[in-house]
């Protein structure tokens, strides 16, 4: 027996700080009503991918699905904006559960910090000096020395963001892989990155950290002057995104690979 579509009657609306997004939010509230996040069945986010990332982080502990509609500059993670039939679209939407990356850093003073990334964890040089990095997977050194502007670890959901700009591979959702992608590699010049099982722990050690300082970023959270970073998928944490059946994230990822 087929399950009936889930109804999302109580909607909380959030919007980016643009006139277009705020106006859309006002019209939708007038049409459908709104509740606070604490009382909601679903969150509708109006903006671009930046707002979606912020919303996923902000409401991570609420266990609420988030349905994005594009009212911003970049909308890869967003559905097409349309005011009509919102309840029906929510009921028919496909669910995509994603797990974030857990970034753990040690800085030059020995301080340890953790942060979550939905798209990617990236290491970036802080000065004109190229970064010099050593890469280990599950405790085994795989690349003794990488001289580059940086390197990033991307999830499937984030593989079409910074990772794609750095010429990394696009990973369909559901793929049990992470993309490890260099940013402007100098040596070894021919190394173009690697696909890593998503159960693995990636450790990146900064060589000559005093001379070649490096920062680490988990989505929008930056830690400077780091000496070591580990990144692994946090299976204990999950986020639920909603996509229209004819415009899901898998379809977008597939379509992106045929754009030239």
pLDDT (tens digit, 9 = 90+) per residue, 166-216? 999 988 877 899 999 999 999 998 899 999 999 999 999 999 999 999 999
Is 260 annotated to bind ligand? Answer: no
* 39 to 7, 10, 13, 97, 175: CA distances (angstroms): 15, 7, 12, 22, 34
The domain spanning residue 132 has which CATH number?
2.60.200.30
Q: What pLDDT, on a 0 to 100 scale, did the predictor assign at position 220?
A: 85
- Given CA atoms 216, 218, 223, 228 in this order, what sign does their dihedral have? negative
Q: What pLDDT, on a 0 to 100 scale, did the predictor assign at position 74?
A: 66
Rounded-to-integer distance, Cα 74 and Cα 65, Å: 21
The domain spanning residue 39 has which CATH number?
3.40.50.10330
Which residues are catalytic, by number?
A: 49
Rounded-to-integer distance, Cα 93 and Cα 109, Å: 47
Domain with 85 in it: 11-98+238-256
Rounded-to-integer distance, Cα 1 and Cα 98, Å: 27
**DSSP secondary structure, 122-169, as one string:** EEEESSSSPEEEEEEETTEEEEEEEEESEEEEE-TTTTTTHHHHTTPP
Say whether both 163 and 183 belong to one domain.
yes
Say whether both 105 and 175 belong to one domain.
yes
Is 157 annotated to bind ligand? Answer: yes
Task: Provide φ and ψ at 185, rounded to 5°.
Answer: -70, 140
Is 165 annotated to bind ligand? Answer: yes
Task: Return the beta strands (E) in the chain as ranges.
Answer: 11-15, 42-47, 66-70, 94-98, 101-107, 112-117, 120-125, 131-137, 140-148, 150-154, 177-183, 194-197, 202-206, 214-218, 221-223, 226-233, 239-243
Question: Is the pTM for the entire model greater than 0.95?
Answer: no
Residue at 2 is within a domain: no
**Per-residue pLDDT for 247 more than 70?**
no
pLDDT tens for residues 217-239? 999 899 999 999 999 999 888 88
Read off the pLDDT band of 21 (50, 70, 90).
Answer: very high
Is 3 annotated to bind ligand? Answer: no
Is 160 annotated to bind ligand? Answer: yes
**How many separate domains does the chain show?**
2
Say whether both 82 and 113 belong to one domain.
no
């Amino acid at each position: 027996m087929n399950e009936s579509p889930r109804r999302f009657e109580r909607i909380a609306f959030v919007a980016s700080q643009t006139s277009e997004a705020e106006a859309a939010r006002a019209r939708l509230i007038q049409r459908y009503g709104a509740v606070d996040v604490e009382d909601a069945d679903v969150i509708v986010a109006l903006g671009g991918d930046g707002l979606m990332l912020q919303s996923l982080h902000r409401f991570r502990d609420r266990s609420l699905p988030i349905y994005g509609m594009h009212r911003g500059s970049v909308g890869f993670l967003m559905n097409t904006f349309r005011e009509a039939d919102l309840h029906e679209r929510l009921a028919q939407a496909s669910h995509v559960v994603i797990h974030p990356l857990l970034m753990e850093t040690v800085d030059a003073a020995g301080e340890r910090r953790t942060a979550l990334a939905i798209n990617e964890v990236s290491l970036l040089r802080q000065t004109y000096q190229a970064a010099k990095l050593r890469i280990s997977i599950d405790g085994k050194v795989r690349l003794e020395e990488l001289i580059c502007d940086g390197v990033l670890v991307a999830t499937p959901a984030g593989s079409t963001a910074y990772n794609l700009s750095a010429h990394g591979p696009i990973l369909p959702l559901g793929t049990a892989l992470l993309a490890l992608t260099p940013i402007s590699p100098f040596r070894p010049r021919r190394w173009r990155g690697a696909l890593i099982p998503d159960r693995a722990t990636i450790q990146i050690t900064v060589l000559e950290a005093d001379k070649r300082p490096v920062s680490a970023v988990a989505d929008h959270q930056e830690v400077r002057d780091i000496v070591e970073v580990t990144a692994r998928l946090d299976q204990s944490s999950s986020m639920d995104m909603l996509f229209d059946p004819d415009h899901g994230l898998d379809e977008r990822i597939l379509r992106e690979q045929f754009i030239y």
